[in-house]
Amino acid sequence: MVNLWLVPASTALLSLPSAALAGIVADSYDAQAQAIIDSFSVAEVVGQMTQLDLSVVMNDTTKTLNETSVRAFAKQYVGSYLNTFWSDPVGDKYGWNASEFRPIVTRIQEITMEENGGHPILYGIMAQTTLE
């Protein structure tokens, strides 16, 4: 009879410290995030809620990053970019893989944080799969 409840009870007791630690860490991150948000002006809040399509910061013909555009949007506190900018295939490619996206997103992040006081951007890709 004792064996039936001993294992679950022991497991619950052992998990308490890690659960408490996770709560402390989460509270710390929440406090840091709240401090950042509390320091925002109205313009920064509006900018952080603005999400742009990647095409607005890419050079159409060369498929390269237009850093001047990124800087201009960063100064307006834009907080997020979305999508791939490929609308048509180029040669035999229909877009970039993760290794090809990484330097572009990294550079957008670097420029943005230089211009807006160190606030990072979010980046999202809308993936599409075609079944044939």
**Predicted local distance difference test score (pLDDT) of residue 7:** 52
Domain ranges of the chain: 1-39, 41-124
The tens digit of pLDDT for each residue in 66-107 reads 999 999 999 999 999 988 777 677 677 777 788 888 999 999
* Closest C-alpha to 51, from 83, 76, 81: 81
pTM value is 0.70
Residue by residue, DSSP assigns 84-126 as: ----S-BTTBSS--HHHHHHHHHHHHHHHHHHTTSPPPEEE--
Give the max Cα distance, the chain: 75
Helix/strand number for the chain, H first, E second = 4, 5
